Chain A
Amino acid sequence: MIPARLKRAFARTFAACTFAVTSFAAHAQGTVNVYSIWPENWARPMFEEFTRATGIKVNFVRFSSGEALARVTAEKGNPRIDVLFGGPVETFAAGIAEGLFEPYKSPSFDKLPARMKHADGQWIAIADDPLVFMTNEKFLKENNLKAPASWDDLLAPAYKNMLQMADARTSGTAVTRIFSIIEVNGRNEDKAFAYMKKLRPNVQIFTKSGGGGTLPVGLGQAGGGIFFIVDALDTKAKGYDVAISFPKEGIGTSAEAIALIKGAKNPDLGRKLIDWATSPAMQNQFAKHKINFVPAHPDVALEPSLAAVLKGANIFPIDADFAGKNRKRVVDRWIAEILNP
């Protein structure tokens, strides 16, 4: 066993060294290269199911959405991956502006509702992921609070320095959150930023990744925060005592998408992955692996417990075009006015 592994190790290094100078080519036949924006513990089981179903191996590394987008942009001239997997559509919308993707319409394309796909097939949704408020039950009890049911509830003095949410520089969760706030303020950006400025003193830390604040909230190190429902439900499933609630003004949901990279070295394998991911073949597996995404495909039934959580929630989609066009400007403004006041 050891000699075999050693041999593989040498072979890999040798390959890397040999091909390194000319081009990056150290990938085997039948392997598709992917940047996953979904955390590894959800992406991995999906890819394993894919490999089981098709025999195609998936070589992937996980980056948060900002990092992934930045990498794909930087590698535009010489793409190192075939597929960008997961992550909110705003990220993909921004990628279209950079001309990163190869349009492709998978067999499921026609069945999906309009907001779950890009008209030209630049991206296709694989799941829907609403934002939620997540608060620590013990914290609520100690401060005689109810789970927040309005954006303004988060401005309560009890939350001072006790909220955690994601940093817009690196996280798609944060971008979805900011556009939600712009949306509930009737796309009046100044009003939205005025609200965020009021919220700022209550924020303990802006975390690098979208789910970064879930554990502190679970532990009570923070009182609450705004997260994607998958992260929130995952925290609850681990056994942390947290409440999940929705603001009455409404909160955004962001479709999670997949796209083929322009100039991909293995476009056919990439298309196969997209075919599979956008179909019920993958989305039926969410429940089995306890991944609390809302399936994008209409034929996949919503898991009952997830349906119960979502019941009565006021959720609206984020306009992908609007978000894509304004993403950079809004994030820059957020950095200047909110992050570094």
Chain B
Amino acid sequence: MTGAATLRRDPAVALTVAVLWLVLALFVAFPMATLLARIFFDKGAFSADGFLAVLTDRHQIRAFWNSMLLGVLVGVGGTLLGFMFAFTAARARLSRGLLTVVDAAVLLPLVSPPFTTAIAIIFSFGPRGLITYELLGLKGVTAYGLTSTLFSEILTFFPIAYLTLRPLLAGIDSNIEGMAQSLGASRWRVFRTVTLPLCVPGLANAFLLLFAASLADFATPLILAGNQFPVLPTQAFLQITGLFDLRGGAALSLVLLVPAMAVFLLQRYWVSRRFYVTVTGKGAGQAPHDSVSPRARAALLAACAFVAVAIIYFYALLLYASLVVALGANHTFTLAHYRVIFTEGLRVIGDTLIIAAFAMPLGGLYGVLLGYLVTRKSFPGRRTMEMTSMVNYALPGTIVGIAYLIAFNEPPIELAGTALLIIACYVFRYGPTGIRATIALLQQIDRSLEEASLGLGAGSGTTFRRVTLPLILPAFFAGLGVVFIRSMTAISATIFLVSVSWTLITVKILENITELSLGPAAAYSVLVVVIVFVVIALIGLALRAFRAPGSTRVTSLLGG
């Protein structure tokens, strides 16, 4: 049966496909086309001058290479750290309590705005830093530059690597390692010749994810990179917000598109094919009792504890800053900052929550619908639809934000300044996580389940509602979770979209940090972390309630 025939026979599917194409055209294709047009057309005539000017400006070239360097270092460092945590969690036989502590510490950077550790770093390092000066007595240290940016980004992004690698390590059949051991290999040799090679695709994947995350992050470098180490996303941001040179900013962001697309394609078409299928039957439940030597276990635990303590220290400092009059000068306890955010800041909190509350179900629904249609229905342009849906997800937020700003600032479609635009940005940028989760889940659910329903005379709508939907609910909740968390914490795209009427907590935090109004910034950050943790917990409960026993687990709420 051809795709077109399916559509004729099934009006419900045809309608859904049409609506999805319409919104994809409006919120993905149109902004990108406008962005390109703005860069390459000057007064109606094609001109690559503006773009070439960026490409040949030596400062921007330097910024580009700095971005690449930072991305690679963050990728390598974050992947190593993530792997260490994942390996410890999967192999060092931690007690449940300890595992919870590790998980919470690791999740903390992931559920807070991406630049929150930057504040703590400014305080802790530098000529009078709590750590460098007060603790270590070092002088002449600077808190700005590559080192501190790298440090902050690794700490912020390594949880992504952890979440990617942990299920992978846990999924390696423990018999394989046991086998290698029984063949006489030492623990180290088993690790080197079996465990590590099996993780290579996961490591590559984690590296690419972190590289992309670093490429999209302008806020951390804005606060920490200083002037000696300009990076491209920050330059593009300043070009637009500072000089309102939309064209120049767009051109700069377009330069980022090349590595971002390269990363996405590598991940999609190279790494994903290299995962080994290790499951060939029933795996023995538990790992070999001594896959990690006591000494290695102690070393791993110590290293993880060190990092976890560092993270907890940074967030404790943040909490402390939110509870004293002025950190560094007046350490009198006060709730004034919270009073400020709950009076003056109430509107911002309200705006953010309203936007998140709308983006969350829309994003979850979008992910499930699109994921379902492209895996289970054949219709013309199916692959194109899947690829199009990934565009906003794969590109750095700066590009997406700039494209939205340019595309929707003026008629014919004027949405600038509205909540709708911010919601659309979140839905189409973070909804794809739900799409990926849905596709992954559906690939594991036998098509015959749906065929059985169709065979019993149910229409495709009923089949979707009664059979498929309950099975892919975990993906729906995963999509919900990601969209909500990002709606509360993301900044790179939406900072371009806030307005007099609608603004976001993250933007407020960034403004307060750059103004160094530390108290309110810290109080807002604490609030975000608390809200996100509560919502994740609720989604987790819902997930448990809805998940049919024995159905597939979605690896993680935040992965991907």
In the complex, the answer to whether B500 meets A16 with C-beta atoms within 8 Å is: no
Chain B residues contacting A221 (CB-CB under 8 Å) are 122-123, 126-129, 143
Q: A74-B244, A207-B514, A238-B326 are in contact. Are A33 and B129 (CB under 8 A)?
A: no
Interchain CA distance A119-B129 in the complex, whole Å: 50
Q: A59-B501, A215-B518 are in contact. Are A169 and B511 (CB under 8 A)?
A: no
Chain A residues contacting B222 (CB-CB under 8 Å) are 208
Chain A residues contacting B409 (CB-CB under 8 Å) are 74-75
In the complex, the answer to whether B126 meets A240 with C-beta atoms within 8 Å is: no
In the complex, the answer to whether A16 meets B127 with C-beta atoms within 8 Å is: no
Q: In chain A, residues 151-191, which have Cβ atoms closer than 8 Å to a Cβ of chain B?
A: 161-162, 167, 169-170
**Contact among A26, A78, A211, A339 with B516 in the assembled complex (CB-CB below 8 Å):** A211
Q: A207-B514, A220-B127 are in contact. Are A78 and B410 (CB under 8 A)?
A: yes
A293 within 8 A of B: no
| Interface range on chain A (Cβ under 8 Å from partner) | 35 or more
Interchain CA distance A339-B129 in the complex, whole Å: 25
A206 within 8 A of B: yes
A53 within 8 A of B: no
Q: In chain B, residues 287-341, which have Cβ atoms closer than 8 Å to a Cβ of chain A?
A: 325-326, 328-330
In the complex, the answer to whether A26 meets B227 with C-beta atoms within 8 Å is: no
B541 within 8 A of A: no
In the complex, the answer to whether B500 meets A59 with C-beta atoms within 8 Å is: yes
Q: Mark B482-514, 1 if CB is under 8 A from A, else 0.
A: 000000000000000011111100000001001
Q: In chain A, residues 23-37, which have Cβ atoms closer than 8 Å to a Cβ of chain B?
A: 23-24, 26-27, 33-35
A214 within 8 A of B: yes
**Contact among A9, A167, A204 with B142 in the assembled complex (CB-CB below 8 Å):** A204
Chain A residues contacting B421 (CB-CB under 8 Å) are 20
In the complex, the answer to whether A9 meets B354 with C-beta atoms within 8 Å is: yes
Chain A residues contacting B418 (CB-CB under 8 Å) are 16-17, 19-20, 24, 26
Q: A77-B410, A203-B227 are in contact. Are A66 and B241 (CB under 8 A)?
A: yes
A336 smallest CB distance to B (angstroms): 8
A233 smallest CB distance to B (angstroms): 14
In the complex, the answer to whether B350 meets A9 with C-beta atoms within 8 Å is: yes
Chain B residues contacting A20 (CB-CB under 8 Å) are 414-415, 418, 420-421
In the complex, the answer to whether B126 meets A16 with C-beta atoms within 8 Å is: no
**Contact among B59, B238, B330 with A239 in the assembled complex (CB-CB below 8 Å):** B330
Stretch at the interface among A39-47, A247-255, A281-289, A301-309: A39-47
Chain B residues contacting A71 (CB-CB under 8 Å) are 244
Majority-rule SS of B interface residues: loop
Interchain CA distance A80-B414 in the complex, whole Å: 12
In the complex, the answer to whether A209 meets B354 with C-beta atoms within 8 Å is: no
Chain B residues contacting A67 (CB-CB under 8 Å) are 241-242, 244
Q: Mark B409-426, 1 if CB is under 8 A from A, else 0.
A: 110011111111100000
In the complex, the answer to whether A70 meets B244 with C-beta atoms within 8 Å is: yes
Chain A residues contacting B123 (CB-CB under 8 Å) are 219, 221
A147 within 8 A of B: no
In the complex, the answer to whether A40 meets B344 with C-beta atoms within 8 Å is: yes
A81 within 8 A of B: yes
Q: Mark A205-246, 1 if CB is under 8 A from B, else 0.
A: 111110111111011111100000000000000111100000
Q: In chain A, residues 1-31, which have Cβ atoms closer than 8 Å to a Cβ of chain B?
A: 5, 9, 12-13, 16-17, 19-24, 26-27
In the complex, the answer to whether B499 meets A61 with C-beta atoms within 8 Å is: yes
In the complex, the answer to whether B242 meets A170 with C-beta atoms within 8 Å is: yes
A62 within 8 A of B: yes
In the complex, the answer to whether A16 meets B515 with C-beta atoms within 8 Å is: no
B238 smallest CB distance to A (angstroms): 5
Interchain CA distance A27-B500 in the complex, whole Å: 10
In the complex, the answer to whether A62 meets B419 with C-beta atoms within 8 Å is: no
Interchain CA distance A208-B498 in the complex, whole Å: 18
A323 within 8 A of B: no
Interchain CA distance A59-B503 in the complex, whole Å: 12
In the complex, the answer to whether B516 meets A239 with C-beta atoms within 8 Å is: no
B455 within 8 A of A: no
Interchain CA distance A39-B513 in the complex, whole Å: 12
- The number of chain B residues with a CB under 8 A from chain A is 55
Q: A24-B416, A221-B126 are in contact. Are A212 and B514 (CB under 8 A)?
A: yes
Chain B residues contacting A69 (CB-CB under 8 Å) are 244
B226 within 8 A of A: yes
Interchain CA distance A203-B142 in the complex, whole Å: 11
A276 within 8 A of B: no
B246 within 8 A of A: yes
Chain B residues contacting A167 (CB-CB under 8 Å) are 227, 238, 242
In the complex, the answer to whether B501 meets A41 with C-beta atoms within 8 Å is: no
Chain A residues contacting B326 (CB-CB under 8 Å) are 238-240
A60 within 8 A of B: yes
Q: In chain B, residues 219-265, which have Cβ atoms closer than 8 Å to a Cβ of chain A?
A: 222, 226-227, 230, 238, 240-244, 246
In the complex, the answer to whether B414 meets A24 with C-beta atoms within 8 Å is: yes
Q: In chain A, residues 65-108, which have Cβ atoms closer than 8 Å to a Cβ of chain B?
A: 66-67, 69-71, 73-75, 77-78, 80-81
A340 within 8 A of B: yes
Interface-centre pick from B127, B350, B502 (highest chain A CB count, 10 A) = B127
In the complex, the answer to whether A16 meets B502 with C-beta atoms within 8 Å is: yes
A48 smallest CB distance to B (angstroms): 9
Interface-centre pick from B350, B414, B499 (highest chain A CB count, 10 A) = B499
Interface-centre pick from B238, B329, B344, B515 (highest chain A CB count, 10 A) = B515
Q: A60-B500, A216-B122 are in contact. Are A206 and B227 (CB under 8 A)?
A: yes
Give A67's nearest chain B residue, CB to CB: B241
Give A328's nearest chain B residue, CB to CB: B243
Q: Mark A327-341, 1 if CB is under 8 A from B, else 0.
A: 000000000000110
In the complex, the answer to whether B419 meets A16 with C-beta atoms within 8 Å is: yes
Chain B residues contacting A60 (CB-CB under 8 Å) are 500
In the complex, the answer to whether A218 meets B329 with C-beta atoms within 8 Å is: yes
Q: A218-B328, A238-B330 are in contact. Are A169 and B127 (CB under 8 A)?
A: no
In the complex, the answer to whether A16 meets B227 with C-beta atoms within 8 Å is: no
Q: Mark B162-189, 1 if CB is under 8 A from A, else 0.
A: 0000000000000000000000000000
**Contact among B227, B243, B344, B414 with A21 in the assembled complex (CB-CB below 8 Å):** B414
B240 smallest CB distance to A (angstroms): 8
A134 smallest CB distance to B (angstroms): 13
Which residue numbers of A lie inside 8 Å of B, CB to CB? 5, 9, 12-13, 16-17, 19-24, 26-27, 33-35, 39-41, 44, 59-63, 66-67, 69-71, 73-75, 77-78, 80-81, 161-162, 167, 169-170, 203-209, 211-216, 218-223, 238-241, 339-340
Q: A24-B499, A205-B144, A219-B329 are in contact. List 12 more A-B contacts (CB 8 A).
A: A20-B414, A26-B501, A59-B500, A61-B498, A66-B242, A67-B244, A73-B244, A78-B414, A167-B238, A220-B128, A221-B122, A221-B126
28 pairs, CB–CB < 8 Å, chain A vs chain B:
A9-B350, A9-B354, A13-B419, A16-B420, A20-B414, A20-B421, A21-B414, A21-B415, A24-B417, A26-B501, A34-B500, A40-B511, A44-B344, A67-B241, A74-B409, A80-B499, A167-B238, A169-B242, A204-B144, A206-B227, A208-B238, A215-B516, A216-B126, A218-B328, A219-B123, A221-B129, A221-B143, A239-B329
**For the complex of A and B, 8 pairs with smallest distance between CB atoms:** A70-B244, A215-B516, A220-B128, A169-B242, A239-B329, A20-B418, A170-B242, A239-B330
